[in-house]
Structure 1
Amino acid sequence: MSLALLGAAMLAGVFWGTAQIGWSDRWAILTGDPEAPRSLSLIVWQWRMPRVLAVALIGAGLSLAGALMQTALRNPLADPYLMGLSSGASAAAVAMIIWAPAWIADVLGVPLAAFLGASAAFGITLGLAFRPGRMLSPLVVILAGVAVSLMFQSLTAFFLYIGDPQATRAALGWLMGTAAGTDWSDLPVLALATTTVAGAAFWRAGDLDTLLLGDERAAALGMRVGLLRLLIFVGTALLTGLSVAVAGIVGFVGLIVPHMARLLIGARHRRLLPLAMVLGAIVLVCVDLLCRVLLAPEELPLGVLLALFAAPPFIFILRRVRDVA
């Protein structure tokens, strides 16, 4: 059922947009009919198709990362950006847009700068949380992530404040998230990283279930808790860094969607992770479509609608956490 909904959402994302395409042309384009209008075929296959596939992969990857982070930290409000990844990516991207000379921007580009910034923030967070001879503490990781986030957020605000107004506007557009300009070259690395992390997580699903029992019980059962938690952090950083590099800051997906999946199917990771990935893909594909059509020909940033739609379920989750506490 969820896969059918994902297929329907992706077809809608491909065939609806600012350019109107008739039903007969849609069928002709989909089947590769040589008589299909060339301009409309170009729109579908070169612009919309890679964009829809990219946001589906990003939604699936962020949802997977969110589910893994909530398990690793045993915190229902953990999300992929908790370790300062988004703040590091934001600071690096804004610095690239506002300050970098043209030749450096052409060589590196904003996506690569964002990925490097996210990686740097991840490294600093782990460095602050690491204690020789001891397992990584979830609480220490959270506190280190908050500190790193604050540091990079202040850098981003400083860059925006003293930057050129035109460049600042472009940087703000990227910070709010957008999949505009996505092409086929963005997909292979995203797909490879998502399938690799998902396969590894599915393979260790039993260990992830055990981790929910607590570090002491998991260690008593012979599990290497510190190593597993470190691998989760690395996989999360990879997925989050790549998504930020392609579509900017896309918040709330990794926080909300895993809880939606748990409400539908429970907390067993062998069933939870695939459903969370499919639901994340559906959510982001649908939100991206709405961003394109609501104010056409203008396009809304992904972050605007995501924040709007995420508020009610986030309040619901907070109420549940409060009642349990």
Structure 2
Amino acid sequence: MVVRFPILFPISLLVLGLVVLAGILWGTAEISWADRFAILLGSDDAPRGLSLIIWQWRIPRVLAVGVIGAGLALAGALMQTALRNPMADPYLMGLSSGASAAAVGAIIWLPDWVTDSFGVPAIAFIGAALAFLMTITLSGRRGHPLDPLIVILAGVAVSLMFQSLTAFFLYIGDPHATRTALGWLMGTAGNTAWHEVPMITVALIVIGGWAIFNANALDATLLGEERAQALGVRTARLRMWIFLATVTLTGLAVAVAGIVGFVGLIIPHMARILIGARHRVLLPLTMALGAIVLIAVDLLCRTILAPEELPLGVLLALFAAPPFIMILRGLHRAA
């Protein structure tokens, strides 16, 4: 599997570059090829209005979506390792439900000056962090390490609670505000701006570097608690760092683009099929594939029903269903 990495990873980076260019050059606006390249090269004769479309709308959107896809895929791979559960994903600890409840509550109930001052993304991130703290609090026992099964069950309980709260907000809220909230719940990168790109990019670089640096410890974790500890891995501390990394990446992703499902569940499995389970090669490929998939899906969301735009969650669920079924069948045969 390691032999494949020098081939697959450069190919994935090449595909990523092509997908980024496609996301920047294609869209609903009518722009000639000459104008497209003139805009990208910063030519003085490039149309100003079209330049704004490329530089202030498409490029930050494509970059943000790519980083979000890479971050969610990385978070999913780390969660599957920490919990030793192939069906784990970044939202397992109630993060998406907490963010959803906070964002929907802000959109429907808070005055405009509050949401304008703090921003729905910041409020959503606070909701995700609150859900994480509740899950960890419910899972922990003083003097005992976190049990992966208890973490999963606590995450399910917290998710159900926040999902009920979200449904309550939507049911009694103003119809106009409810429509806005539903659009956010289905995932969208339509309002992405430049100032949202640096924070999540820095988080991805730092957490990705930390994960690759600790690849051997992550490999040992897959052997089980006792064997990993016998190899010198402090599993409880490593698992807590993974949870903190996951809440950071997922909270920032949800804050920027809403609820984007399936990326953190499906992409790590695709990478394992291609490259194997060694984290030193698995994680870079996982991040590259996550970015490729989400940028490509976002481009389709913008263009399939142009000038209308589909939510990210709709197409992701459609495309993720076949590989998800294959993964379930594989797990059933393995059992």
Q: Give your verdict on TM over 0.5.
A: yes
Per the TM alignment, residue 38 of structure 1 is displaced from its structure 2 partner at its CA by 1.1
Match of 2:159 among 149, 156, 159: 149
Q: What one-letter code is carried by the residue in structure 2 that aligns with 1:224?
A: R
Structure 2: 5+ residue runs without aligned partners? 1-10
Distance 1:34 1:136 in 2: 59
Q: What one-letter code is carried by the residue in structure 2 that aligns with 1:307?
A: A
Tell me the equivalent position of 2:170: 160
Match of 1:243 among 250, 253, 256: 253
Match of 1:14 among 24, 27, 33: 24
1:198 to 2:205 alignment:
no
Per the TM alignment, residue 134 of structure 1 is displaced from its structure 2 partner at its CA by 1.3
Distance 2:181 2:41 in 1: 39
Distance 2:63 2:233 in 1: 37
Q: Which digits, 9 at most, give the CA deviation of each residue in 1:171-200, with x for residues without a partner? A: 000000000110100011011111110010
Distance 1:30 1:173 in 2: 31
Tell me the equivalent position of 2:276: 266
Q: Which digits, 9 at most, give the CA deviation of each residue in 1:118-145, with x for residues without a partner? A: 0000000000111111111110100000
Per the TM alignment, residue 319 of structure 1 is displaced from its structure 2 partner at its CA by 0.3
Tell me the equivalent position of 2:121: 111
Q: Which digits, 9 at most, give the CA deviation of each residue in 1:155-179, with x for residues without a partner? A: 0000000111111011000000000
Q: Which digits, 9 at most, give the CA deviation of each residue in 1:13-61, with x for residues without a partner? A: 0010000221111221121111111111111011000000000000000
Q: What one-letter code is carried by the residue in structure 1 that aligns with 2:184?
A: W
Tell me the equivalent position of 1:136: 146
Q: What one-letter code is carried by the residue in structure 2 that aligns with 1:30?
A: L
Per the TM alignment, residue 216 of structure 1 is displaced from its structure 2 partner at its CA by 0.7
Tell me the equivalent position of 1:210: 220
Q: Which digits, 9 at most, give the CA deviation of each residue in 1:201-242, with x for residues without a partner? A: 011000000000000111111211000000000000000000
Tell me the equivalent position of 1:307: 317
Per the TM alignment, residue 103 of structure 1 is displaced from its structure 2 partner at its CA by 2.0
Tell me the equivalent position of 1:28: 38
Q: What one-letter code is carried by the residue in structure 2 that aligns with 1:230?
A: M
Tell me the equivalent position of 2:92: 82
Range 301-310 or range 22-31, more displaced: 22-31
1:17 match: secondary structure: coil
Q: Which digits, 9 at most, give the CA deviation of each residue in 1:60-88, with x for residues without a partner? A: 00000000000000111000000000000
1:121 to 2:131 alignment:
yes
Quote the sequence identity (%). Answer: 69
TM-score (norm 2): 0.96
Tell me the equivalent position of 1:97: 107
Distance 1:265 1:124 in 2: 36
Distance 1:289 1:257 in 2: 18
Tell me the equivalent position of 1:38: 48
Tell me the equivalent position of 1:284: 294
Tell me the equivalent position of 1:188: 198
Q: What one-letter code is carried by the residue in structure 2 that aligns with 1:211?
A: T
Q: What one-letter code is carried by the residue in structure 1 that aligns with 2:248?
A: L
**Matched residue pairs, number?**
325
Distance 2:240 2:39 in 1: 46
Q: What one-letter code is carried by the residue in structure 2 that aligns with 1:68?
A: L
Distance 2:93 2:191 in 1: 28
Structure 1: 5+ residue runs without aligned partners? none
Match of 1:253 among 248, 263, 276: 263
1:60 to 2:73 alignment:
no
1:322 to 2:294 alignment:
no
